[in-house]
Amino acid sequence: MRKSELWVFFLVPYLLVLGLFSLVSHFNRQAIQAGVEALAKEQLQATATILKANIKELLGRQDSPAHILDQFAGLEDIYFIALLDENERILDWHSKFEGYLPFSRRQRPAAEFWVVDSPIGSVFNHYSSLETADGRRFHLYLGYSLQGLDRLLVRSQKNFWLILGIMALVGLIIFAGIYRLHASFERASAEAIKQAEEKERFKEISGFTAGVAHEVKNPLNSLILLFELLEKKSPPELSRQVLQGKEEIKKIGAVIDRFSEIIKPLNLKKERLVFNDILQEEISSLQPLAQARRVEIELKVLKKLAVNGDRLLLGRAVNNLIKNALEASAPGKKVLVQAGLHRKNLVCSVTDLGSGIDPSQADRIFEPFVSSKESGLGVGLYLVRKIVEAHQGKIYFKSGPEGGTIFTIELPGGQDA
């Protein structure tokens, strides 16, 4: 799946879920508002019925409107109360917000109930008529505070944004995880394809190399015997040329042996090894090369390290890395060899101060027959990778802080010796 397809695959359902949640929340808030208003309407209607009965009785006793409303001004949730005559003139009124009575004969709707905004929020209005026993007609105007509903709606809105934010964050985290898994899968797939192509190419090269080695080795052996005979029979003035020819044939044989070697499957003979001993042995064997190139080899290992592996093969891998570092270093420089433990892995690094890896070869440095050296065959690092991977380890490189290159191998199962 391409990245653009992944975005569509995730983004469309993601937006649909958020949109559906928003729509459900909107309808839920509307349902809450309608339900609370219905309850307020029922309560206000019941309160109005009771008040009108009491007011009619008090008006029948000739009580004044001010005295009558004083008795009902403190009712809970009644925001304001007003008594009007038959011509809708206000006789008296009380309000919990001083000086505020939202009444206008011109703007009053025909409905018995309606909602207006006020300094304390929404107010449910009720307007109805009452008639006393002596035939006088009055109007009762009530306002019922919907502060509870407003607070509930505000809390619901806050909860909506909170939950929406959490859902969005969780969705992004899930997408980030899916994206990373997809990227990891893509890398693994690309690596698998690359390895399959490399194996197929190497299989062809191996077949060709094996055929060439078989066809060339026998004539080379015959030529070596011939040059040994010439070495004995030739006059002194030709001995140097004969010896040189013999050495060249040996070089050809060594190249063929090297090619034949890398195409053979590795047969590991694992044992418990002290890795420090391998490092010391390989550094000692390379000291003549280091002295010839005037390069110092420095070993830094703080404690004895043990690992399961093939002593001969691991020694060759370390030898190749140190030898490459020596050949890459200029006279007077230093090659640093370090080893330690990291997350139950034995980690060994070889650092040189050479010119570094050519960027054009960086992606192919561990492939066979890739080399930046004029005399190199390009099989050393390939063989190192082959040995390390046979031990279920990994090898990688990076540029050093002072220039040059750091090659690192990690082997599982490292422990203190």
Looking at residues 354-370, what average pLDDT do you find? 79
Give 100-106 contacts, CB < 8 A, sequence gap 24+: 102/143, 103/141
Confidence band, pLDDT 50/70/90 cuts, at residue 116: confident
Task: Inform me whether the pLDDT recorded for 374 exceeds 60.
Answer: no
Q: Which amino acid is at 252?
A: I
Cα–Cα distance between 114 and 102 in angstroms, integer? 12
Task: Inform me whether the pLDDT recorded for 240 exceeds 70.
Answer: yes
Task: State what percent of residues in the chain have pLDDT above 90.
Answer: 24
Higher pLDDT, 88 or 369: 88
Residue 304's pLDDT is 93
Q: Which of the given ranges, 69-78, 166-175, 338-347, has the highest pLDDT on average?
A: 338-347
Looking at residues 67-77, what average pLDDT do you find? 78
Looking at residues 245-256, what average pLDDT do you find? 74
User: Could you say which architecture CATH assigns to the domain 270-416?
Assistant: 2-Layer Sandwich (3.30)
The pair of three-digit structure tokens given for residue 119, joined into one six-digit string:
């300094």
388: part of which helix (H) or strand (E)? Answer: helix 380-390
Looking at residues 23-52, what average pLDDT do you find? 80
Residue 341's pLDDT is 93
Residue 99's pLDDT is 66
Question: Which residue shows structure tokens 């975005």?
Answer: 7
Residue 322's pLDDT is 95
Residue 88's pLDDT is 87
The pair of three-digit structure tokens given for residue 309, joined into one six-digit string:
């592996």
User: 334-342 and 345-352: which strand pairing?
Assistant: antiparallel
Q: pTM for the complete prediction?
A: 0.48
Task: Inform me whether the pLDDT recorded for 409 exceeds 80.
Answer: yes
Residue 372's pLDDT is 63
Confidence band, pLDDT 50/70/90 cuts, at residue 346: very high
Return the CATH fold of 3-145: Beta-Lactamase (3.30.450)
Are the beta carbons of 35 and 162 closer than 8 angstroms? Answer: no
Task: Inform me whether the pLDDT recorded for 10 exceeds 80.
Answer: no
Tell me the average pLDDT of the chain.
Answer: 81
Residue 70's pLDDT is 83
> How many residues are there in the chain?
417
The per-residue pLDDT for range 289-336, each reduced to its tens digit, is 999 999 999 999 988 999 999 998 999 899 999 999 999 998 999 999
Residue 46's pLDDT is 84
Q: What is the DSSP letter of 266?
A: P
Cα–Cα distance between 37 and 28 in angstroms, integer? 14
Q: Which residues does 368 contact at the CB level (< 8 Å), separation at least 6?
A: 202, 205, 262, 378, 379, 382
The per-residue pLDDT for range 252-287, each reduced to its tens digit, is 777 676 666 666 667 888 999 999 999 999 999 999
Task: Inform me whether the pLDDT recorded for 74 exceeds 90.
Answer: no
The per-residue pLDDT for range 177-227, each reduced to its tens digit, is 877 887 788 888 888 887 777 677 666 666 666 666 666 777 777 777 787
Residue 122's pLDDT is 75
